[in-house]
A and B are shown apart, each in its own frame.
Chain A
Amino acid sequence: RKEVEQDPGPFNVPEGATVAFNCTYSNSASQSFFWYRQDCRKEPKLLMSVYSSGNEDGRFTAQLNRASQYISLLIRDSKLSDSATYLCVGLYGNNRLAFGKGNQVVVIP
């Protein structure tokens, strides 16, 4: 079983709508979790860190639920430029990152 699991989608979202998706993790030893954004044929870029208390950055809200071992990302007022793959990532010992397959989001005009 992979350490981080995501439903790849795609998630087709009308422009202006809200979209939310989760990822689950199996290894509870993770020190931290992150959401990265990856555009087609590009490297991943850090979107935001994820905390149990939840954190918000503009239209993006991330939440960590350690009891249920899942991480969520919510995007409000979706823009066309939000179309990308969102990678759920756990940080483990020796600074090792474990990536999920990603949630592909397609914002439709």
Chain B
Amino acid sequence: GAVVSQHPSWVICKSGTSVKIECRSLDFQATTMFWYRQFPKQSLMLMATSNEGSKATYEQGVEKDKFLINHASLTLSTLTVTSAHPEDSSFYICSASRGTQYFGPGTRLLVL
């Protein structure tokens, strides 16, 4: 049990476009999901905490208008990178909490 999926697994887009990433808990309900970002050879950095039915809580330095989070149900949270730029290229990972955090497989974003 405790499987978390992410879609897409990788995406390449042009600068200025928006990209939506989905995070789903497949076999449990998660009132809280987390979004992380990891640059090469760096640690995972928490971007925001996504709470079902309420607004996400963003970490300091993360622009909430650029990284839109929607947690519409107990099994789905989405992260939309709006007007993506090359510096947004990174590995985006979500996790869903059921006591322990279970991580999705991640989404590699490359913005050209």
In the bound assembly, the distance between CA atoms of A98 and B101 in angstroms comes to 12
- Complex Cα spacing A43 to B95, Å: 10
Give the B-binding residues of A (Cβ under 8 A). 2, 4, 8, 41-46, 87, 94-102
A34 to B100, CA, bound (A): 11
Of A2, A4, A41, A87, chain B has the most CB atoms within 10 Å of the CB of: A41
The B interface, classified by DSSP as helix, strand, loop or mixed, is: strand
Q: A8 near B41 (CB under 8 angstroms)?
A: yes
CA distance A98 to B100 in the complex (A): 14
- The answer to whether A101 touches B93, judged by C-beta atoms less than 8 angstroms apart, is no
Find A42's partner among B43, B49, B100, B106 (CB 8 Å cutoff).
B106
Q: Mind listing 25 A-B residue pairs with CB under 8 Å?
A: A8-B41, A41-B106, A41-B108, A42-B106, A43-B104, A43-B106, A45-B103, A46-B100, A87-B44, A94-B49, A95-B32, A95-B34, A95-B101, A97-B34, A97-B44, A97-B95, A97-B101, A98-B46, A99-B36, A99-B44, A99-B45, A100-B43, A101-B41, A101-B42, A101-B43
